[in-house]
Amino acid sequence: MNASPPLPKTAPVKRKRITRGWWLKQLHTWHWISAAVSLIGMFLFALTGVTLNHAASIPAHPQVVQKSGTLPLSLLRLLKATPAEGAPMPAPVAQAVAGQVGLDPSGRAGEWSDDEVYVAMPRPGGDAWVSVNRASGAISSEVTRQGWISLLNDLHKGRNTGLGWRLFIDAFAAAALLFTGTGLLLLQFHAKHRKKTWPLVGLGFAVPLIIAIIFIH
């Protein structure tokens, strides 16, 4: 009985090349997809990294807008009783305040004193507050805007941005990690033909480490 002919020695090499080609295709696909998804976010976060690093050198010109109004007498009774600490304004009062001064304190924690109820409304790139006198119904409000740079800096930090923006930051971070992770694996695939790959990667790690050790105390 004749023995089966031996497999060509090139078969394992061919399978290896096919496997390598499949992984390279996958890595390139995920690398460019994650790059496209995170491109604008990475640009903005890099830009605001510079502005945050030089925040003291960038002049700010805050704009302050103050408004006032008067709560209808029919709603004053809703402010007479002292609620639990941190309770928001009653819904009809909050709606009336929004109609008078353009700031809606609905659902926000209030600071209740004998004289007034005060609601802080911080926001990215500025601040705001509204207060209502519990005896007279006088409404006072103030909105402060620090400008576009301050807005972008606060978006970078996720300061006073709410749940939606924090979820975006998490999604952007995941896309950026995928981008850098696939980039590292692509470097590994091509390092054999690019001798400077790992020295440059090592330099990128060593430089910030050395600066941190020497200059940060």
At residue 13, the pLDDT reads 62
Question: What sign for the dihedral angle of Cα 193, 197, 198, 199?
Answer: positive
| Closest among 177, 110, 175, 105 to 141, alpha carbons compared | 105
Question: What sign for the dihedral angle of Cα 36, 180, 187, 14?
Answer: negative
Q: Is the confidence at residue 157, as pLDDT, over 90?
A: yes
pLDDT in tens, 121-133: 999 999 999 999 9
Q: Is the confidence at residue 193, as pLDDT, over 90?
A: no
Model pTM score: 0.79
pLDDT in tens, 159-174: 999 999 999 999 999 9
- In DSSP terms, which residues pair with 66 in a beta bridge? 142
Residues 30-59 have a mean pLDDT of: 93
State how far Cα 89 lies from the chain centre: 29
Q: Is the confidence at residue 9, as pLDDT, over 70?
A: no
Q: Is the confidence at residue 192, as pLDDT, over 60?
A: yes
Angle at 192 between CA 187 and CA 196, to 5 degrees: 70
Residues 131-149 have a mean pLDDT of: 95
At residue 14, the pLDDT reads 65
Residue with tokens 């890595």: 27
pLDDT in tens, 53-111: 998 888 888 999 999 999 999 999 999 887 888 999 999 999 999 999 999 999 999 99
Q: Is 118 helix (H, G, I), strand (E, B) or coil?
A: strand
